[in-house]
Structure 1
């Protein structure tokens, strides 16, 4: 979907258009998923149980999401095939003070008889899940402008400050809420220190009603990677952050 600059912000059209990035917005449906599907929770693609990662505390990690990269649309430097799996530490703080794990599976099979059909550890961490229901993900391409919660937002408009009226409208138009891959994030509190280097949004999970997604009090989570690591398909240094009100 091509971004159309609202009439209210036509005086800032050039600045806004220079900031545009492509994003894949996520919608969720409650339905059964195949092991290789893009999904929220449930059972990740696993050929054997030994592949399931353990966290900082030695417990099996919380499986948050899986993206089948073939489902994504026109995202620069993103691999065109394979699976990305997102895990966080198994604790009551959604893994806030512990490393996350993003597992990249470049080639996968589609023989369900050779794959695990149930998550062997879901019962061990389901009380800590930041959502109520597992769901299947689908994606829609959109262009999006820089979001208000990014520190570069104010820098982009230096010399062209918003009027008081537009200031309030800007927080509605450029808030960045929603779940997505790519594009710009929405920071509930503030931009984390690492965002300057790790500024490619691998996944944002935001407040959502169908699956009941919420981190803490009206919060969301983000996973980031550097552009260079993404080009190299190196997902070993992904940064994870979640914030709430």
Structure 2
């Protein structure tokens, strides 16, 4: 079943066709036009000095108004701050336009074990709330008991092709092109850089290509994923009163809100240098509702 895909803007469609032509991947044109997603990548800019409040930051301390409580987990332990994203600093294109135009998102996490259904909190503060935001030091002990170095981050618009967990190898490989050639195409489209810290609205890192099934199942039914796409689809269909078309659409519309890479500079290390992933239903994203999200972790 085809996963969710964004409709490419005219500029991005032209860019995709150009890169496909330059990389001699015409045999996979239709497949890539159908599966490439418009995304946003966040890269390290500089170590945070906290001279100005409210900028996009990964790691370190958040800028919060005094009346906003620090999130806690189910045991009452303060969660660990991960990132704040000032939405007006993100790319102004078709992809970012699904986010609120102003305000900021804040990401917090509890204990990252097990690797599924991780306790977390995504806060959305509107622009007027941010006028009173100031640096807030983390409570002395938070869930992860780690001190992360804060980095200001900059955003860029990207084209995100299916990664190794999602790509249909038969579509991209032929007698003259193997997976290494496909990776070169991917690097060209994403503008991959070693200073990249995070991705929004792309493909999550995984070996199995089923992350949306896991997240959609939990968000819609509250049930735990048993690593069967077929069974997850059946459960969601039952929850939706037998509407299989809507169930498939819900899976396609389960979006990668944010993926945070492991990074030595910040101090992130998700198990064996993996990736922390936050998902949201498209319906909730468009409504500006960040109270219902899903968090999981991928590590090889």
The yes-or-no answer on 1:187 pairing with 2:242 is no
8 Å Cα contact 2:27/2:172 also seen in 1: no
In the alignment, the residues of structure 2 paired with residue 30 and residue 197 of structure 1 have an alpha-carbon distance, to the nearest angstrom, of 37
Name the counterpart of 2:173: 162
Q: C-alpha offsets along residues 8-28 of structure 1, whole Å, 9 cap, x if unaligned? A: 522112211222222111111
In the alignment, the residues of structure 2 paired with residue 82 and residue 221 of structure 1 have an alpha-carbon distance, to the nearest angstrom, of 23
Name the counterpart of 1:103: 123
Unaligned stretches of 5+ in structure 1?
none
In the alignment, the residues of structure 2 paired with residue 189 and residue 15 of structure 1 have an alpha-carbon distance, to the nearest angstrom, of 19
The yes-or-no answer on 1:137 pairing with 2:153 is yes
Name the counterpart of 2:73: 55
The yes-or-no answer on 1:208 pairing with 2:263 is yes
1:69-108 → structure 2 map (5 Å cutoff)? 69-73=87-91, 74=93, 75-89=96-110, 91=111, 93=113, 97-108=117-128
Q: C-alpha offsets along residues 10-53 of structure 1, whole Å, 9 cap, x if unaligned? A: 21122112222221111112122333111112222322265211
Residues 237 and 19 (structure 1 numbering): CA distance in 2 closer, same or farther, change over 3 Å? same
> What is the deviation of 1:230?
0.6
Residues 8 and 233 (structure 1 numbering): CA distance in 2 closer, same or farther, change over 3 Å? same
User: 2:254 aligned to 172, 183, 199, which one?
Assistant: 199
8 Å Cα contact 1:78/1:231 also seen in 2: yes
The yes-or-no answer on 1:220 pairing with 2:275 is yes
- What SS does the corresponding residue of 2:276 show, helix, strand or coil? strand
Name the counterpart of 1:11: 27
In the alignment, the residues of structure 1 paired with residue 33 and residue 269 of structure 2 have an alpha-carbon distance, to the nearest angstrom, of 31
Greater CA radius of gyration, 1 or 2?
Answer: 2
Aligned residues: 235
The two structures, once aligned, show a CA RMSD in angstroms of 3.0
**Normalised by the size of structure 1, how large is the TM-score?**
0.81
Residues 228 and 50 (structure 1 numbering): CA distance in 2 closer, same or farther, change over 3 Å? closer
8 Å Cα contact 1:197/1:226 also seen in 2: no
In the alignment, the residues of structure 2 paired with residue 95 and residue 58 of structure 1 have an alpha-carbon distance, to the nearest angstrom, of 20
**Which shows bigger deviation, 191-200 or 138-147?**
191-200
- What SS does the corresponding residue of 1:70 show, helix, strand or coil? helix
Decide which structure has greater helix share: 2
In the alignment, the residues of structure 1 paired with residue 85 and residue 74 of structure 2 have an alpha-carbon distance, to the nearest angstrom, of 24
> What is the deviation of 1:71?
0.8
Unaligned stretches of 5+ in structure 2?
1-11, 217-250
Moved over 4 A (4+): 94-97, 171-178
Name the counterpart of 2:241: none
